[in-house]
Amino acid sequence: MKILITVSTYFPKKDGVQNVTGYLAEGLVKLGHNVTVLTSNKDLTSSNEEIYNGVKIVRINLYTKYGLYFGNKKEYKKIISEYANKVDVLINVCTQNAFTDLILKDLNKYKCKKILYKHDIFDFRFSTINFSSFASMANKLWKEIRWSFYYSINGKYFKDYDVVTELHDKCYGYDFFEKKYGIRAKIIENAAENDFFEKKTLKDFVKPFDKYLLNVSNYDDRKNQKLAVREFLKANIDTKIGLVLIGSNSNKYYYSLINYANKLRKKYKLTDEQKPILMLHNIDRKYISSYVSNAYAYIMTSKWEAFPISLTESLASGVPFISTNVGIARFLFGGVTAYEINDIHYYIEKLCNEEKLRNDLSILAKKYAIDNLRIEDKVKELENLCKNTK
């Protein structure tokens, strides 16, 4: 089959959506399909057209910022119209982005099969995190207005897709689409690469600490590493245990995180050797499975997530997780979810101080991942939707 996938971020950019789209596109190529990914060239110096791991990548000047669309919208619509008559399947990844939203009104004109591959949607519910600062509250209110309007006018167009997918039947968007539009999504969960299942450790990997908690995510306010630092330093655990944070690059948040950690270290009267914190960036992707597999526990303190890839990787490695109550984290087996952010240090203490509890969760995590989180299974599920969708 000839398949066109549209997505806001793709290689060489790094985020959860990019990761999932990447392994699905490359997996479909391995099954013999011709796959093209149409994505944004914003902030990239790489070529606007290239082949990567068998996938043809086409980049154009189009992006979404603050819920608004920028770039060459007319060119994008023209490209889609041309491809729609040449491909067998069009897959739009996510709602609330220019690559999907600009063509919703034209879906009924395209003769190819059409799939909307959702990564959940904006959550209209309020939580305590939304009121943690003026900026958080203002951001939440703007998005409430912006996306309320968006979903009120586009519901009729979502029905023009042959199939809509969702990451989990407990995702907020699953119930939203069923109640609002009568659309019952097909479920394709996220997955982890084989290196994590194999607990692969590279020969030149140097374990940072004998025992450490780990967080792998871009350094920014949404990922909220400051909360991880605070709760880790607050926890009553062996002071030899470390915290390792890995982000894609150093930025303003990264440097503010360093200052924040230093202030807390003084507050709790800790030396640099007690509860050491290592903040890394620009680590080659091939080393991530080594860091995850050797971690004692994984900690995720995000303000918002759907189905975090980082948690699938920790589960596949048999590393139990501690997470804020975001997305579907509480429905995953092999970790604990803190309903109140101030309770995270309690769970850190439980896992670090009770070896049997940690080991029991580790076994459960591995079993759940083997049964549910294999990439090859997800690629096959998507291929079947492409083949069998009317």
Q: Dump pLDDT digits (tens) for 225-242.
A: 999 999 999 999 999 999
Average pLDDT, integer, range 207-216: 97
Average pLDDT, integer, range 51-58: 96
- Tell me whether strands 2-6 and 34-40 are parallel, antiparallel or unpaired: parallel
Question: What is the model's pLDDT at position 199?
Answer: 86
Q: How far apart are CA 216 and CA 230, in angstroms?
A: 16
From residue 230, alpha-carbon distances to 146, 225, 226, 345, 372 in Å are: 33, 9, 6, 8, 33
Kindly state the helix (H) or strand (E) to which residue 209 belongs, with its residue range. Answer: none
The DSSP symbol for 377 reads H
Work out the pLDDT band at 112, boundaries 50, 70, 90.
very high
pTM exceeding the 0.85 threshold for the entire prediction: yes
Percent of the chain with pLDDT over 70: 98
Could you give the domains of the chain? 2-191+374-388 (3.40.50.2000), 194-372 (3.40.50.2000)
Average pLDDT, integer, range 282-292: 94
Work out the pLDDT band at 138, boundaries 50, 70, 90.
confident
Q: How far apart are CA 81 and CA 30, in angstroms?
A: 27
Lowest mean pLDDT among 100-104, 127-131, 254-258: 127-131
Residue that the structure tokens 């479920």 belong to: 187
Beta-bridged to residue 216, according to DSSP, are: 246
Work out the pLDDT band at 389, boundaries 50, 70, 90.
low
